Amino acid sequence: METRASYVLVGGFVLSFLAGLIAFAIWIAKVDLDAEYKDYDIYFDGTVSGLYKRSIVYYLGIPVGDVRDITLAPQDPSKVRVWIRLRAEVPVSEASRARLEFQGLTGVAYIELSGGSPNSPPLESHLGAERPIIEAEPSPLLEIFDSAPNLVNEAIKMLGQIQKILSNDNVANISKTLSNTERLTGNLADGTDNLEVMVADVQIILAEAKNAAVKISTLVDNGNTLIEEDAKQLIAEATGTMQAATAMLNRVDGLVAANEGTVTQFIGGSLPEVSRMILDLRLTARSLSRLVSRIEQNPSEALFGAKEAPYNLKTRKTEEEGN
Amino acid sequence: MVGQTVKIPVSKLITSFLFCALVLLAGCGPLISFGDDGPADDVYNLSYEGGYSANVDSENIIYLEEPLMNQGLSGVDIAVALPDDQRSTLKGVRWAGNSADLVRDYLVRSLSEKSGVKLLGDGGLDVRAGCRMTVKVWSFEFAPGERSRDDTVDVAIEFSLVRYRDGHLVGQRAFNVSTAIDTNQGNSVVAGFRAGMHALSGDAANWLGPLGSNCAL
């Protein structure tokens, strides 16, 4: 007996099943058939380690798209071109900036977009470019990682310097300094016992200084009085004296000018002569002094000379020896 | 009697004056000597044998002061240095003038001619000079030896050159010359002095010449 199946029913069931399956897949994939997207390019300087396709793109912390592709820049191999796709309603303007960020310490990277001012014009594709290009800015965290090796080296050097500073000798010196400081502070603490005496002395000194200031003030007042009253007369007399002295100097100047030749001759000729004459007089005075001394001691010898035995060249003896 | 005048004869007055003069003359006998009857001394001069400095530098003039003679060297007698620092004078011989004057005149002429620097002596007191040079004569004596061929004449003079302008001591140097003479061979003691002074002035002129520029007027 042949089974009479309802082909229409089976076909309807299969089609219904397929349609349900497609709907389920769409529901599972959360495909937004109504969504519109825009593609952009971002050129990063250097590495984009940790960034992969499908990595999320955030705008002010809101996921607004994902990374479509990562390639080297066609014109500059030192840069990396990242193709991203954003929802059409994301306000990307000329002032928007893209930055590579990391999630915690896992090393997974994502792209963070920051907006510009609301008045900035929307970002458009430049001539010759496939997609509009969002300006990239360096990531602070990435800079820290880049400079980390140098920081480690500097830290090692600093540790070496600290080790030198904290050598045994310096530690001993620091200990001495601390002990001296302790002794000094102890002495200061002991010295504060005499603080009252010291304050009393300072008060006495201040009182004396006050008296001195009063006396100085009085002296200044007297000086002002002297200058204003007595000094006028004194200055007048001094002026008169100076005028008289000036007149006298003028007369002396005239006298010298009139006798310039004579004065020059005296200075040039007579002064050396006087100088030498004084020297000769000194010698003469000394000779006279000796003569007077000899006369006082033995007048006869002074006049007729001392008795001495002359040397006879023929006998080669003195006269006394000869006799 | 009041008002009576006493008249003394002139002859008695002259006689009394002569008597008093004779008494005074007799009293001064020890003080006055008329010399003895011994032979006269031989008198010598110390003349420089060279010429006179006619063409010398008149810009650099030095006034040579009177030499200061060491003890026993001054006077007209010729000093003799005996052993044990005993001093004497040579018998029968003397200088024509004071030894200091003789030395000064000799040095003025000899140094002026040999050094090229104008030196002024006794007659140049009123001439303006740039320097003065003091002279100390340490030795100027005859020194007899044990034998006649050991006799010497020693001359030692120290010069000090002082600039008038600032009293700066430009230079100071002592020169010493000992000249051997043999009196038995007819060598005169005075010739020994002359030879000694000649050698010493030559050395002094060589020292003084380069220093003359310090005495520019």
Q: What is the DSSP letter of B211?
A: G
- The pLDDT, as a whole number, for residue A78 is 87
Quickly count: other Cβ atoms within 10 Å of residue B90's Cβ: 21
**Residues of A with Cβ-Cβ distance to B142 under 8 angstroms:** 311
- The pLDDT, as a whole number, for residue B197 is 96
pLDDT tens digits, B17-54: 888 888 777 766 555 555 555 678 889 999 898 888 76
pLDDT tens digits, A90-126: 888 888 999 888 887 677 889 999 876 778 888 888 8
Would the CB atoms of A318 and B148 count as touching at under 8 Å? no
- The Cα-based distances of B201 to A246, B133, B136 in angstroms read 57, 14, 14
Residue range A219-231: average pLDDT?
Answer: 70
- The pLDDT, as a whole number, for residue B30 is 54
3-state secondary structure of A73: coil
DSSP letter string over A146-206?
HHHHHHHHHHHHHHHHHHHHT-HHHHHHHHHHHHHHHHHHHHHHHHGGGHHHHHHHHHHHH
Residue range A282-291: average pLDDT?
Answer: 80
**Residues of A with Cβ-Cβ distance to B80 under 8 angstroms:** 311
Would the CB atoms of B30 and A300 count as touching at under 8 Å? yes
- pLDDT-derived band at B1, boundaries 50, 70, 90: very low
Closest among A220, A219, A245 to A237, alpha carbons compared: A245
**Residues linked to residue A133 through DSSP beta bridges, in sequence order:** A41
- The Cα-based distances of A246 to A236, A241, A242, A253 in angstroms read 15, 8, 6, 10
* A128 CB burial (10 A radius; 0-12, 13-18, 19+): exposed
- pLDDT-derived band at B128, boundaries 50, 70, 90: confident
Quickly count: other Cβ atoms within 10 Å of residue B155's Cβ: 25
pLDDT tens digits, A34-56: 778 889 999 998 888 888 989 99
Decide if B144 contacts B86 (C-beta within 8 A): no
Decide if B163 contacts B62 (C-beta within 8 A): no
CA of A306 vs chain B CAs: smallest distance (Å) = 11
- pLDDT-derived band at B148, boundaries 50, 70, 90: confident
Which domains, ranges and CATH numbers included, belong to chain B? 56-215 (3.40.50.10610)
Closest CB to A279: pick one of B65, B142, B148. B65
Quickly count: other Cβ atoms within 10 Å of residue A7's Cβ: 8
- How many angstroms separate the CA atoms of B209 and B203, rounded? 10
Mean pLDDT of chain A: 81
- The Cα-based distances of B88 to A80, A308, B183 in angstroms read 125, 7, 18
Judged by average pLDDT, the poorest of A110-114, A164-168, A207-211, A261-265 is A261-265
Decide if A57 contacts A66 (C-beta within 8 A): yes
More confident residue, A77 or B183: A77
- The pLDDT, as a whole number, for residue A31 is 63
pLDDT at A253 over 70: yes
Q: Which of residues 278-307 of A touch B (CB under 8 A)?
A: 279-280, 283, 300, 303-304
Residue range B118-126: average pLDDT?
Answer: 82
- The pLDDT, as a whole number, for residue B2 is 43
Assess B54–A contact: CB distance below 8 Å, yes or no. no
Would the CB atoms of A276 and B63 count as touching at under 8 Å? yes
- pLDDT-derived band at A68, boundaries 50, 70, 90: very high
Non-local (6+) Cβ contacts of A102 within 8 A are A50, A108, A109, A110, A139, A141
Assess B217–A contact: CB distance below 8 Å, yes or no. no
Residue ranges of E strands in B41-98: 42-44, 57-64, 68-69, 77-82, 86-95
Closest among A74, A42, A45 to A55, alpha carbons compared: A42
How far from each other are the two terminal CA atoms of chain A, in whole angstroms? 207
The string over A142-174, giving b where at least 16 C-beta atoms fall within 10 Å of a residue's C-beta and e elsewhere, is: beeeeeeeeeeeeeeeeeeeeeeeeeeeeeeee
pLDDT at A70 over 60: yes
Q: ipTM beyond 0.85?
A: no
- pLDDT-derived band at A244, boundaries 50, 70, 90: confident
- How many angstroms separate the CA atoms of B155 and B139, rounded? 5
More confident residue, B199 or A1: B199
Decide if A134 contacts A40 (C-beta within 8 A): yes
Query: How many Å separate Cα A62 from the centre of its chain?
Result: 48
- The pLDDT, as a whole number, for residue B141 is 95
Closest among A40, A141, A38, A68 to A99, alpha carbons compared: A141
Q: What percent of chain B has pLDDT over 70?
A: 87
Decide if B192 contacts B142 (C-beta within 8 A): yes
Quickly count: other Cβ atoms within 10 Å of residue B213's Cβ: 13
Taking CA atoms, what residue in A is nearest to B31? A300
Taken as a whole, chain A contains a residue count of 323
- The pLDDT, as a whole number, for residue B195 is 94
Residue ranges of E strands in chain A: 37-45, 56-59, 62-72, 79-87, 97-103, 108-114, 133-137, 311-312, 317-318
Q: Which of A27-41, A131-145, A216-230, B164-178 has the highest mean pLDDT?
A: B164-178
- The Cα-based distances of A253 to A257, A264, A269 in angstroms read 6, 14, 21
- How many angstroms separate the CA atoms of A58 and A311, rounded? 138
Residue range B61-77: average pLDDT?
Answer: 90
Residue range B179-206: average pLDDT?
Answer: 88
Q: What token pair was written down for B155?
A: 């001359």
pLDDT at B78 over 90: yes
Decide if B168 contacts B204 (C-beta within 8 A): no
- pLDDT-derived band at B95, boundaries 50, 70, 90: very high
pLDDT at B126 over 80: no
- pLDDT-derived band at B187, boundaries 50, 70, 90: low
pLDDT at B158 over 60: yes
Residue range A273-295: average pLDDT?
Answer: 77
pLDDT at B6 over 70: no
Assess B24–A contact: CB distance below 8 Å, yes or no. no
Quickly count: other Cβ atoms within 10 Å of residue B178's Cβ: 14
Q: What percent of chain B has pLDDT over 90?
A: 47
**Residues of A with Cβ-Cβ distance to B87 under 8 angstroms:** 308
- How many angstroms separate the CA atoms of B181 and B153, rounded? 7
pLDDT tens digits, A128-182: 788 899 988 887 766 776 677 777 788 888 888 888 888 888 888 888 888 888 8
More confident residue, B26 or B114: B114
